[in-house]
Every structure is written in structure tokens, then in C-alpha cells.
Amino acid sequence: MLVALPTPLPIRHGVVDREGWLAVAQDVLAGGGRLVSLWGSSSAGAEGARAAHAAYAFSFESGLAWIELPLAPGEGYPDLAPLFPAAARLQRAARDLDGIQATDAADTRPWLDHGLWGAEGDAAGALPADYAFVRVQGEGVHEIAVGPVHAGIIEPGHFRFSVVGEKVLRLEERLGYKHKGIARRFTELPALEAHRLAGRVSGDSTVAYAWAYCMALEAAAGCAVPARAAWLRALLLERERVANHLGDLGALGNDAAFALGLAQFARLREDWQRLSMALFGHRFMMDRIVPGGVAVDLDAEGRRRLLAQCDALEPELRQLRHIYDEHAGLQDRFIGTGRVTPQLAAQLGLTGLAGRASAQTWDLRCAPSLPPYDGLNVNMATHRNGDVAARVSVRFDELLESLRLLRLLCLGLPEGSLRAEALSLPAGAARGAGWVEGWRGEVFVALELDAGAIRRCHCHDPSWQNWPVLEHAVIGNIVPDFPLINKSFNLSYAGHDL
């Protein structure tokens, strides 16, 4: 039986047995739903504290179901990877982090643990354990190892290419280099202060993570957010979306040797972030969303400046889009490159903007829509081609839609308080969940409290679903196109590695 959590979105929680664990997964798959996240929980010496958890999105209307399977000491849980391929790495991470094992899993290699977690004393200078990469055999096949250290300012990740000439036969990723103990750190922080840590899980999505965490905490505490605060949260989220899309479009132009695109979009993003600093006190709007509401207001002059910036940016965007669409060199690099068909996207659970570029029509701003999005009639940007060109097109469409939404949010901003008057943490056990459509895709947070303290906080980045799809997108392309394909997804290392 599923019990509704007091959130602005339809999110329900239920406890099942092993048969129910598989039955729910099979029902979700048969109904066209998808796996949103999978994680474990454990607490040494606490009876019933070991459990496997999964979050599923059944459909827009029915929302999200958080399914929990209690485990006895040493007991495993049924493998979900045959039903949802995205579960494979999530299950490997759950074993590394919480010691719970999916029974009969095909891939049991450690994922986040590189063989150094159990080192005694000072592990400085120790080398990671060998990793059993899949070997591709055949005449003329050779390997290219890239990373984990990359040129320029970029997070670490290792990519192992198997190629013939310049054609990619296989790509295998090795991530986890950014692991920083996020889950444990949450348990060491007061629940009313941990939103600051949530906002640092993946810095480019600080607004989305902070909102998702606060939504989960507010659900656990039974706290309603004032209308003005909800509208300001949406305004901050759309500004975060615009900033990242501007940066990506410039970087995509640069990866295709179109320096003009990089220069123009870098200028536009810098102007955008400078106004964020002026209006909200932080270029990335970090720590602006707090439990119960927001920490910053927007006065009449601020709304005027924001509207003026939207009006100035839109014609420049339309002109740059025309340049990108008509530039033969860019289109030659974009069209057909890194294609993910709608069928493959559905099978692998591709989500967010990359999923929408492959005809996966999921956007939490549309349905089940979170206030104030439920009254803004958000237009979902989609495409069917699933290549770099499609992902570029979706970014342009989402930019223009975000400008429209920002105007509506400014003009319709209701009066009222910025924060709930009182947010009292429950004395006993409580749980809550947050689910927000960040710029990259849906950010999910599951929070468990015990006497007001955090017992477990699980943060999920959409990159978990999308990193494995990148391995498929590059197959059959040439090695020099990988940076372009990779940037068209622009996945998070930090949000994934936890």
C-alpha cells in the first residue's frame, strides 16, 4: 500500500517484500514508466535499518512512487537491471556505499570504490585497484585511454575507447573520482542547515538540488511554503537553466571550431550571471533557497532589470540560432552525430533535455507540475532525431521558453512572506521526498529523519541515467567527435559520484 507524502507533487511511499519489489518494477515497465533512482540504506546495529529503495515514475498523472524493501542482515535484493538497465550502476554504487547486494547481478564490479576505501591508516600515495575493463578483440582494434585528468578546467573521469582507425567500436566509462562522502556528511549536519550541502552536490545545479532537499524536508515536517517563495524559487530555477544552456551552446560551437559562438554565448552568460549577483547576491544563486522558503526577495527595480535583460537577450538568441542553423560547418558536425534513437532512449531511461531530444516527453514543469508551474502552461521542448543537432535545438527552445516563464514570474509575483513562519521538525521518525526539473533533468532527494536528525539523505542526479547512454551514443562515430557528443549531453561528474 502506498502512502502519500505531504509534498506539492504526487509522491507516495510503500514498503514491499521481495515479490512485491519485482512486481512493482514489472508493472512500471509494462505501463511505460521508468526508474528514477535506486539506493540503499543501512545503520550498523539498528534492527530493520538495512533496506533497498527505488523510486519510480509511473506516469505524469500518478507521479512518483518510493518503494522500500527491508533486508535482513546479509540478505540481498532482486536485481532490477534486466528490467531497467540504468539500475546496474546504481546497484553497484549501493553496494559500495551501504553494503547491500543485488542478487544474481551480471556486473558486480565496484563502482564508486576504487579499491582505496578499506586502506589502513594514511592512504596517500596508494594506487587504485585494477579495474576489469571489457576488452574488444579483433584485427586492427586498439584502445585509447582518456583521463581521468583532462586538459583545461574539467572534472575527472576516465574514458576507455576501443577503436579501429578513428571509428569507435566501444566506449567504457570509469567514474567515481569525485566521490566526497556526501551521504555520510548529511548525517553529520542539522537538518535545517543541510540545504547548503545539497546545493553543493553539483554546483551547476545548486538551485535544483537546494529546492529538492527543501521540498523533502518540508514534506517531512508538514510545512507549507508561501506562494511568493514558491514563485521566487521557480524564478531562480529558470535563471539557472538559462545560464547553463548559454554556456553549453557556446562550448558546443567551440568544439566544432566555431569560436564566434563561444565568444558570443560566453558574453551573454557573463552578463546573465552578473545580474544574478546584483539581484540575489551570488552568481550561481547558491544558498538562496532555504527550508520553508527563500532567503532573498525581488523588489520592483529588480523585476524591471530582470525583464529588461530578458527583452535584450531574446533577439540575440534568435540571431545566434539563425547563425548556428545556417552555418554549414556546424551543421555538418552536428547532424547525425552521437544519435540516440527514441527506442534506445526509452530502453535505457534517457532523461532530461537529452531525453527530450530523443522524443522522451518528460518534464516535471509540465506534469505533474509543481506550483507555480501548474499555472504557467509550460511548453515542453522536444525533438526526435536524438543527435547533437537535436540537443542543440532543444537548448535553444528551452532558452526561449525560460525567458517567457521569467517574464510571467516577474509580472505575476504574488505578495506575501518569503518563508514559512515556523518549520518544526517531527519528534519521531519521518520521511520526505523532493523532485525538481533541473536544467540537466530531474533531481530527486529522499530524506529520512529520526528525532529531527538526518538518518539518510539520498540525492540523485539525472546523469546516473545518462552517462551509460553516452557510451551508446558514441558508437560508430569517430574519435574527434567525442568531445562534441560529450558536451551535447554535458553530464555531471560531481552529482554522479556523490
pLDDT digits (tens, 9 = 90+) for 369-384: 789 999 999 999 999 9
Provide the percentage of residues in the chain whose pLDDT is more than 70: 96
For residues 210-219, average pLDDT:
97
What pLDDT is recorded for position 121? Answer: 45
For residue 391, give every residue at least 6 positions away whose Cβ sits within 8 Å of its Cβ, in sequence order, or none. Answer: 353, 354, 357, 383, 488, 489
For 67-118, write each residue's pLDDT tens digit: 999 999 889 999 999 999 999 999 999 999 999 999 999 999 999 999 888 7
Band of residue 46 on the pLDDT scale cut at 50, 70, 90: very low
For residues 328-335, average pLDDT:
96
Give yes or no for residue 50 having a pLDDT over 90: no
What pLDDT is recorded for position 61? Answer: 61
Strand order through the sheet with 51-59: 3-4, 11-15, 63-70, 51-59, 34-41
Q: How far apart are CA 105 and CA 2, in angstroms?
A: 27
Cell output for 408: 510571467
Sort residue 361 into left (φ over 0), alpha (ψ -120 to 50) or beta: beta
Strand order through the sheet with 429-437: 429-437, 442-450, 453-460
For residue 174, give every residue at least 6 positions away whose Cβ sits within 8 Å of its Cβ, in sequence order, or none. Answer: 131, 133, 148, 157, 158, 159, 160
What pLDDT is recorded for position 60? Answer: 53
For residues 226-246, average pLDDT:
98
In 3-state terms, what secondary structure has residue 166?
Answer: coil
**Contact (Cβ atoms closer than 8 angstroms) between residue 432 and residue 7:** yes
Band of residue 330 on the pLDDT scale cut at 50, 70, 90: very high
- DSSP-derived letter for residue 478 is B
* pTM, 2 dp: 0.95
For 245-265, write each residue's pLDDT tens digit: 999 999 999 999 999 999 999
Domains in the chain with CATH codes = 3-103 (3.30.460.80), 141-174 (no CATH), 182-497 (1.10.645.10)
Arithmetic mean of pLDDT over the chain: 93
**Contact (Cβ atoms closer than 8 angstroms) between residue 161 and residue 143:** yes
What pLDDT is recorded for position 147? Answer: 85
For 340-368, write each residue's pLDDT tens digit: 999 999 999 999 999 999 999 999 999 77
For 117-129, write each residue's pLDDT tens digit: 875 444 556 778 8
Band of residue 62 on the pLDDT scale cut at 50, 70, 90: confident
Provide the percentage of residues in the chain whose pLDDT is more than 90: 83
Between the alpha carbon of residue 138 and those of residues 134, 141, 241, the distances in Å are: 13, 6, 44
What pLDDT is recorded for position 43? Answer: 65
What pLDDT is recorded for position 45? Answer: 42
* 63-70/51-59 β-pairing: antiparallel
DSSP sequence for 32-50: T-EEEEEEEE--TT-TT--
What pLDDT is recorded for position 303? Answer: 97
**Contact (Cβ atoms closer than 8 angstroms) between residue 350 and residue 466:** yes
Give yes or no for residue 236 having a pLDDT over 60: yes
- CA terminus-to-terminus distance, the chain: 31
**Contact (Cβ atoms closer than 8 angstroms) between residue 468 and residue 86:** yes
**Contact (Cβ atoms closer than 8 angstroms) between residue 64 and residue 57:** yes
For 151-175, write each residue's pLDDT tens digit: 777 889 999 999 999 999 999 999 9
Query: In 3D, which of 231, 338, 240 has the Cα closest to residue 294?
Result: 231
